[in-house]
Amino acid sequence: MGQSKLILTICPSWGPELPPLGIALLKSSLNQHDIQCDLIDFNIECYNKLKHQDRIRLWDKSNLDPWLCPQRFEHEILPLLEPLIDQLVNQLIAHPAPYIGFTVLDSNVWVSNIVADRLKQHTNKVLIAGGPETTFKEPRVKISKSFDYYFVGEGEQAIVEIIRWLDSNKNKPSPQGVYSTMGELCIDRQFVQSSLNQSVVPDFSSLLLNTYVENALPIITSRSCLFKCRFCSDFKSMGTFRKLSTDHIVAILSHYYKLGYRKLWFNDLLINGVMEELCSAFEKLANNGQRFTWIALATPNKQLTSTHLNTLKSYGLQTLNLGLESGSNDVMKMMKKGFNQKYCSEALQRIFESKINTQLNIIVGFPGETEDHFLETLQFLDNHKQYISGFTSINSCIALPGSFLSDNKERYAIQFPENQDPSLWFSVDNTPEIRANRLSRLKQWIQDNHYNIYASNQAD
């Protein structure tokens, strides 16, 4: 491989626990085509360089508002990051790579924009934005025009085409999914999917792996989801449901094992669709003496059979994070969760009997949720306390851009305030205040029952 063509970077804020999987997958894909790429995890650099108290405050997942609100970002975060941003910009300018790619999401869009703006003043390197912030038109309008291009879709295949296209001086049409920021940003764009075989094994080699909080590596074995919950945009931002083969999973995990890792965090939206492959892969690995402990997300329905659960437990599954969202049958149905109270109750019991921990996600205030529905959720939690280990994500319902809810405002009779903030939608019987009140009472229940909360979109 020759000189580095591309730097891929992710700005704060993003989870400091594990190395970023997305850019490691892109690097792996480029490796296969002999295109050299370097990774810079600016997020972890900032996390490790800031004072302990700032780090704890700013990377608190139950209070991302200072990263999201431009005014709070400017006053509370930017002064702390200024010197580090300058260092990064100088590093990027001095680097020989002519192209720089940014993973942009709602919690790092302001830092990414500042880095892009400063780079644009001093270099003519090509700047490309990709990631969740560029997928849907509503958040995309926030990206700076200092980026030359934005990309919509999964980048593993496209990144190779983009580099070749840029290298050819753009003497042919741009690759699918690549758009100039000079054009309209607020426009629906088709999502470009990649073949999952493009990146065989994520390549973390240019990251300092000992700088992350957890001694674990991330893996993703499937894309998108089997379900289409009405409030969710995640499944849409990953194309159609696809999964890795058993052998592919074995190849990735054998590599991780050789790197010395024994702990995994699955990034799959849920593992319900890949249970057979996981059982076979972990069996093969165990036969080679390679054992892991791991955590993953799932949905509590009939797909979680006792046989699968017992097998996966024997191969190191410690915790399942379940997107319960509500304990009310009516709300589960309105959300199109794909399970009901009975399925969920039985799944919680099976998971418990398999000695796997259960973490729950809850959303309060979906359109149509009444006070009685909310009380039903509290009652459901009360009735299943013995099966619950903790709470991962406790949120007030947001009309996320790209979700069915956001795309069908008339159907749900919801309106937005003038600033279009998707968290402040309201209807005749559902307001941000009503949702905040329910969320506070849910938090009180969680506190009274001595559980922890990992993340919430409403600060205390």
Residues that bind ligand SF4 (CB under 6 A): 225, 227-229, 232, 234-235, 269-270, 299, 323
Which two three-digit tokens encode residue 116?
């892009």
Which two three-digit tokens encode residue 257?
């094992």
Nearer to ligand SF4, 175 or 300 (CB): 300
Least distance (Å) between residue 423 CB and ligand SF4: 17
Pairwise CA distance, residues 311 & 317, whole Å: 9
Nearer to ligand SF4, 175 or 401 (CB): 401
Nearer to ligand SF4, 336 or 355 (CB): 336
Pairwise CA distance, residues 103 & 336, whole Å: 30
Which two three-digit tokens encode residue 28?
């792996």
Nearer to ligand SF4, 100 or 298 (CB): 298
* Residue appearing with tokens 């030359």: 148
Q: Element (H or E) spanning 358, and its range?
A: strand 357-364
Nearer to ligand SF4, 113 or 233 (CB): 233
* Residue appearing with tokens 């849409």: 236
Distance (Å) of CA 425 to CA 273, 284, 430: 33, 49, 8
Least distance (Å) between residue 299 CB and ligand SF4: 5
Nearer to ligand SF4, 202 or 323 (CB): 323
The number of angstroms, rounded, from the C-alpha of 250 to the middle of its chain's C-alpha atoms is 23
Least distance (Å) between residue 220 CB and ligand SF4: 13
- 3-class DSSP state of 384: coil
Please give the sequence-ordered ranges of beta strands (E in DSSP) within 185-232, or none if there are none.
217-219, 222-223
- Asked whether the bond before 13 is cis by omega within 30 degrees of 0, the reply is yes
Nearer to ligand SF4, 166 or 298 (CB): 298
Least distance (Å) between residue 120 CB and ligand SF4: 36
Least distance (Å) between residue 40 CB and ligand SF4: 29
Least distance (Å) between residue 109 CB and ligand SF4: 22
Pairwise CA distance, residues 295 & 307, whole Å: 18
Least distance (Å) between residue 301 CB and ligand SF4: 9
